Amino acid sequence: MKRVLITGAAGFLGSHLCDRFIKEGYHVMAMDNLITGDLKNIEHLFPLSNFEFYNHDVSNFVHVSGDLDFILHFASPASPIDYLKIPIQTLKVGSLGTHNLLGLAKSKGARMLIASTSEVYGDPEVHPQKEDYWGNVNPVGPRGVYDEAKRFQEAMTMAYHTYHGVETRIVRIFNTYGPRMRLNDGRVLPAFIGQALRGEDLTVFGDGSQTRSFCYVDDLVEGIYRLLHSDYAHPVNIGNPNEITIGEFAEEIIKLTGTDQKVIYKELPTDDPKKRQPDISLAKDILDWEPKVSRAEGLKITYEYFKSLSESELYKKEHNNFEQYIKK
Ligand code: UDP
C-alpha cells in the first residue's frame, strides 16, 4: 500500500484530497494544526485502518515514522481575511513548513507536490495567465504575506529538485469552490451564499468589474492527482478558465438562491487583482486534463451543502480556533 502524507488535511482542499487518496487505496497520513481546518471535514475517515491523523504545525520539525511515497503540502490559510489575521503564521507555513517537508521528502525518498496559487501572478498584467508569466506582486501589501510565501515555496521546491534531486511537483491553483469551504472564511462564494441564506444584501467589493474564474473542487482534485503521477516538475496551472465578473457572479447567486436581497457595493480591498483567468493549455497537453463540472452544476451542489449546515454555523462570525492562535 502506497503511503501519502497530506498537510492541511482538515481544510477544504486537503480533506477532498484525503477522500481521493483513500478511494485510490492509499494509506493516508493526515496532518493539520486546525487553525483554519476543521476535523468535521475528515471525521468520516477516522474509523478506517488506512487513515491516521496528526495534530501538528508543519512550521515546526515534522517527523513521521515508516516509509513515505508522497507528500502533498496543502497547509496554509488561503483566504485573504484569514491571512490578514494570521500573517506571520501564513509566511511561516509557506516557507519554514515547506522547508521542513522538503527535508522529510529528501530523507524518505518521497515525491512532494506543493499547493501554489494564482496569487503568484499578483494583479496580473498578462491575461489569461500562463505559467511562464512572472507576475506582478506587491511584497509589502496586505496580500504579500501569502503571495510571497507561495513564491518562496516554489523557489525552495525547485532548489530541492535541482540541487538535491528530490522529485517535486508544483500546482498553481486558481479560485476553487465546493462543499467544506468555511461559510465565514470571507471568500466571495461562501460570503454571497451565506448572505443569501441569512437574508442579507450581497456585498460586492469595488464596482464588481473585477473577474475571477471558479473551478469545482472535484475537477481540481483530478488535476492534482494526474500532476502528482506525471513526470513534470515545473509549475502547472489548474483551474477553470470560465471567467466571470464579481458583479455577474452576485447576480448568479441571487438567481440560484432565489433571495430577494439586493447587491450593495463596498470598498475594494487593497491590491485586489482586477482580472484572473488560468491558461490551462499546459495541463491539457501534459495531463490530458480539463475541467468537466460547469459552474451551474458545481454551484448547485455547493449551495445544497451550505443549506445543510446548522443555524449556529450560519451565524458564526469567526472560526473558533483563531483567537487562541493569534495570542501566541
Ligand atoms: N469579494 C466581494 N465580496 C465579498 C467577498 C469578496 O466582492 O463579500 C470580491 C473580492 O474583492 C475579490 C473577489 O470577490 O475581487 C474574490 O475574492 P476572494 O476573497 O474569494 O478571493 P481572491 O480571488 O481575491 O483571492
Q: Are residues 25 and 161 in the same domain?
A: yes
Contact 184, 316 (CB under 8 A): yes
> How far from 81 is each of 67, 220, 269, CA to CA, in Å?
37, 23, 10
Contact 70, 105 (CB under 8 A): no
- Which residue is closest in CA terms to ligand 1's atom 11? 205
Question: Is-above-0.85 flag for pTM?
Answer: yes
Annotated active-site residue 146? The verdict is yes
> How far from 211 is each of 10, 190, 272, CA to CA, in Å?
29, 17, 10
In tens, the pLDDT along 247-284 reads 999 999 999 999 999 999 999 999 999 999 999 999 99
Range of the domain at 304: 179-213+241-274+293-314
Q: Which three cell numbers stand for residue 57?
A: 504545525
CATH number at residue 111: 3.40.50.720
- For the chain, the average pLDDT equals 96
CA-189 nearest atom, ligand 1: 20
The whole-number pLDDT of residue 324 equals 63
Domain for residue 284, yes or no?
no
| Cα distance between residue 72 and residue 176, in whole Å | 17
C-beta neighbour count of 256 within 10 angstroms: 17
What is the distance in A from the centroid of ligand 1 to the CA of 204? 8
Mutate which of 188, 195, 274 for ligand 1 pocket (most atoms within 8 A of beta carbon): 188
The whole-number pLDDT of residue 326 equals 60
The residue length of the chain stands at 328
Domain for residue 20, yes or no?
yes
C-beta neighbour count of 276 within 10 angstroms: 21
Q: Are residues 189 and 223 in the same domain?
A: no
In tens, the pLDDT along 310-322 reads 898 999 877 666 6
Domain count, the chain: 2
Pocket of ligand 1 (CB under 6 A): 79-80, 175, 186-188, 191, 203-205, 210, 212, 246, 268-269, 272
